[in-house]
Chains A and B, each alone.
Chain A
Amino acid sequence: MQFIEDANKKALEIIQNAQPTLVGMGIARDTVPGMHDKLVLHAGPPITWEKMSGPLRGAVVGGLIYEGLASNPDEAAELAASGEIEYSPCHHHDAVGPMAGVVTASMPVFIVENKSEGNFAYCTMNEGLGKVLRFGAYEQSVIDHLKWMEKTLYPIMKEALEIYGPMDIKNLMAQSVQMGDECHNRNKATTSLFIREIVSSILQTDSSKEDQIKVIDFLNSNDHFTLNLSMPAAKASLEPVGKVENSTIVYTMCRNGTEFGIRVAALGDRWFTAPAEIIDGLYFPGYSMEDANPDIGDSSITETLGLGGFSMATAPAIVQFVGGTPQDAINYTTQMYEITTEESGSYKLPPMNFRGSPTGIDIRKVVDTQILPVINSGIAHKDAGVGQVGAGVVNPPMKCFEDALEAYVALLEKEGMLE
């Protein structure tokens, strides 16, 4: 119906005109809306401690220790279950977090402003690989590393960005998708571009050479550093869509390790959830599907924008994890055009003859064609703190889209918009 097409057009305009810009950094307590000392933010739709899976519980425990609210894991677990700690989705606070996505008050965050709409999005810095909080590790080394990030890495990065000025993240990603990245599971090019931009400013900060070297080495050691920029960039681009009436465009897709949740423009901040799935992918030697945690993380915000799995065609290196050929990657992206509304005006994919990435997931098309969004994801071990055990392709549950469609029609009927 015409009014639906008009609403969707409006939503797409918002997405296409977005200007996600890194404008600085801050401490969560002072920067993230609604943040306070007893609040733990997490990836995915709302969840209680009782329902949390291994990696998320581990990350909560680590977060509480990091904040000094508990001095050991047992104390932290008791506190976590006590009712004293409030849990809230990152998404409810203009934030996003990869994997467990735990954000606590003392953590530093990137501040990304969507210059076209004036809204903001926040994300912590990526810790790197190995035993890290986002996979649910909470041993002392994890806490120590988080402290280093807060006390050394953050001040230098913050100052470097002040020296550099605003950094256009959209521009970075538009380049990197032509360099083999899809900005979710493959970030090497984006991270390289970021380092290239920021290194001079790091050297100009008022800090010791030793610390600067550590910072630069750290950035260099972590291919996925800019995942924590592409995520808030996507979040900032999409969030205003949540206010477009009558639009069937999806503006959030995320998982908390137990449930997958989506949000749809016309239905505002209502969540449509279903059990998260176990990923069918390539497992590292020694691991199998039995070890896997269900899908977890806010990183599917990149697919929601049309990057990540949607742009798989442009990241041939990813295909090892989907067990296929570059042609398979192209076929995945080609399929995504069936469930989206427009081609991106900014993210052009060379192997698709420079077609713009598939943008604007429409719940009607998902249910009609039965083609589900494809998400490139890392797989976490189901036990806290073990880390990544593989990577692959995963879909959201169809139920989320069916429930959303049902709610959407009911809403329109209530408003008398359907004859």
Chain B
Amino acid sequence: MIKAIVKENAYNDSVTLMLISREVQKLEGVEEVLVGMGTELNLDLVKTMDMFVPELEGVTPNDLFIAARYDESKVSMENLVAAFNEEMNKKKESGSGDYQPPTLDSALTHLQGANMVVISIPGEYAAEEAENALRQGLNVMMFSDNVKIEDELRLKKIAVEKGLLMMGPDCGTAIINGVPLCFANVVRPGKIGLVGASGTGTQEITVLVHQQGVGFSQVIGTGGRDLSEEIGGLMMIQGIEALMADPETEVIVLVSKPPAASVEKKIYDLVKKTDKPVVIDFIGGDADSIKEAGAYPCLSLEDAARKAVALARGEETVDFDGFDADETEINQMVEEAVTKLKPDQKYLRGLYTGGTLTDEAIKYLGENHEIYSNIPLTPDRDIKHLENMKGHICLDLGEDQFTRGRPHPMIDPMTRTEFFESDVDASTAVILVDVVLGYGSYVDPAGAVVESLEKAREKIAAAGKDFVVVASVTGTDQDPQNLNESIKTLEEAGVVVMPSNAQAVRLVDRIMKAAAL
């Protein structure tokens, strides 16, 4: 039975609805359910799921619908609606009862002295709201993506003119005045200032700095497109200038994918003007030009963190591309891993939630192995060219193609769970994952990975096989998810937890070489 019901004028944000969808799906007899607003996107999704029924004709983006395919002998639409209402009420009860105004202007009358607006509404509306905020002298952080590049340029120009932050679009991580915004970890205050165009890249650096006992003055996000030719690095430059002038900041760190050439030059010119040491991780970028600009190039996100820490302490910087553990220990770990594998276990499965962490993995592993991905190094390594998944893959599960109609995998582990189910099998040798903690992230990412892993293990246990699983945990001791508990959960499940993504990747590289994968 396929049925749908419509509730008019019942707007709710997409993530809330997706999470409720998932809970309703758990009802026995429900094959498939989609709860969403009547947007074109969602209606297309319903069609793809073969659930477009006549009740959905004429549905508008202001209407909420529940469409489901279910076994009517086990469950009814009434049951589904009741479950939906129960979930909605849970949300309401847990709410603080604080007044929630309908517009930004109204919010500003209720919150005197507001100075930051965090925007995560659908992309087509985000630019207008951001402009309203900037024009009223407020700083903006925009998590929304699918914003036109012309709009981004216009917004950033307004921000620069007014001396305001326009972090985004597509900016997920910032820590301003010590407050973690959107997806960010809790780190101590300190002397390092960071400007980043990449979310998990920023997160990795901040947690590693914190773990070494140092802290941050400001962590400014720019959004993924800031260093493109069209945008010209406007926010990166604004951020660098602010950190140059900031008395609390003594060391500056920049992190991004390699910028457009003209933008790169602008940044180097600016960097030359400051006496403060500048660490630059343009992931995979050209080290020599960074040195020429008087800045410190990096071999990895971890290396960037270590160099920043050294500079903050007034010490010499040292290139780090090894391990914390000594060679003996590492060799032992590699041996144990290789011994675990049976001859027909051949492939790597890198299942990542963070884009930059994926990138770091692919760039390193891609030097010596053929790594297929949805964000490949070269077009011929695009995953669509890989037949039957017979090859090494390393996926960024947070990319658009995997997040259509579902929350980002950092918020909800379901996507990665599904990939464990579909892409991990008896031919898998090594599994590589990131586990990202911090605000914005799922309540127990480590637990979710372990759950998926045990299910995958059940599949191959009969053949007396096991996987080699390597992970790193991007988190601090102050994050809402307990860092030590997370590591413990993983280790108890036989996961090798490395101190950083870079080290996890390097270990995997060694294992793959030793096992001739």
A residues in contact (CB < 8 Å) with B: 327, 331, 334-335, 337-338, 368-371, 398
Contact = CB atoms under 8 A, between A and B. Distances in A.
Contacts of B106: 337-338
Given A370-B9, A370-B62, A327 B103 contact: no
B99 A331 contact: yes
A371 B99 CA distance: 14
Contacts of A370: 9, 11, 62, 102
Given A369-B103, A370-B9, 8 more contacts: A327-B97, A331-B99, A335-B102, A338-B103, A338-B106, A369-B102, A370-B11, A371-B102
Nearest to B8: A398
A335 B101 CA distance: 7
B12 to A, nearest CB: 13
Interface in B89-111: 97, 99, 101-103, 106
- Pairs A-B, 3 closest by C-beta atoms: A369-B102, A334-B99, A338-B102
Contacts of B103: 338, 368-369
A400 to B, nearest CB: 15
Contacts of A337: 106
18 contacts: A327-B97, A331-B99, A334-B99, A335-B102, A337-B106, A338-B101, A338-B102, A338-B103, A338-B106, A368-B103, A369-B102, A369-B103, A370-B9, A370-B11, A370-B62, A370-B102, A371-B102, A398-B9
Q: Looking at chain B, what size class is its interface with the partner chain?
A: under 10
A337 B107 CA distance: 12
A316 B233 CA distance: 56
Contacts of B97: 327
Interface string B314-357: 00000000000000000000000000000000000000000000
Contacts of A369: 102-103
A398 B62 CA distance: 13
Contacts of A368: 103
Nearest to A337: B106
Interface string B2-20: 0000000101000000000
Nearest to B110: A334
Contacts of A331: 99
A327 B99 CA distance: 10
Nearest to B101: A338
Contacts of A398: 9
| SS class, residues of chain A in contact with chain B | helix
A370 B103 CA distance: 11
B6 to A, nearest CB: 16
A338 B9 CA distance: 17
A162 to B, nearest CB: 48
A368 B103 CA distance: 10
Interface in B28-65: 62
A410 to B, nearest CB: 23
Contacts of A335: 102
A231 B494 CA distance: 76
Nearest to A339: B102
Nearest to B99: A334
A32 to B, nearest CB: 39
A369 B101 CA distance: 10
A337 B102 CA distance: 11
Nearest to B97: A327
A369 B106 CA distance: 11
Nearest to B109: A337
Nearest to B106: A338
B391 to A, nearest CB: 51
Contacts of B62: 370
B402 to A, nearest CB: 33
A327 B96 CA distance: 12
A370 B37 CA distance: 16
A2 B9 CA distance: 31
A81 B498 CA distance: 88
A361 to B, nearest CB: 15
Contacts of B101: 338
B98 to A, nearest CB: 10
Residue from B99, B101, B102 with most neighbouring chain A CB atoms (10 Å):
B102
Contacts of B9: 370, 398
Contacts of B99: 331, 334
A324 to B, nearest CB: 12
A186 B62 CA distance: 34
A350 to B, nearest CB: 18
Contacts of B11: 370
A398 B101 CA distance: 19
Nearest to A372: B9
Contacts of B102: 335, 338, 369-371
Nearest to A395: B9
Interface in B77-127: 97, 99, 101-103, 106
Contacts of A334: 99
Nearest to B11: A370
A396 to B, nearest CB: 13
A51 B9 CA distance: 28
A341 to B, nearest CB: 13
A363 to B, nearest CB: 16
Interface string B394-435: 000000000000000000000000000000000000000000
A331 B97 CA distance: 9
A263 to B, nearest CB: 24
A57 to B, nearest CB: 31
Nearest to A331: B99
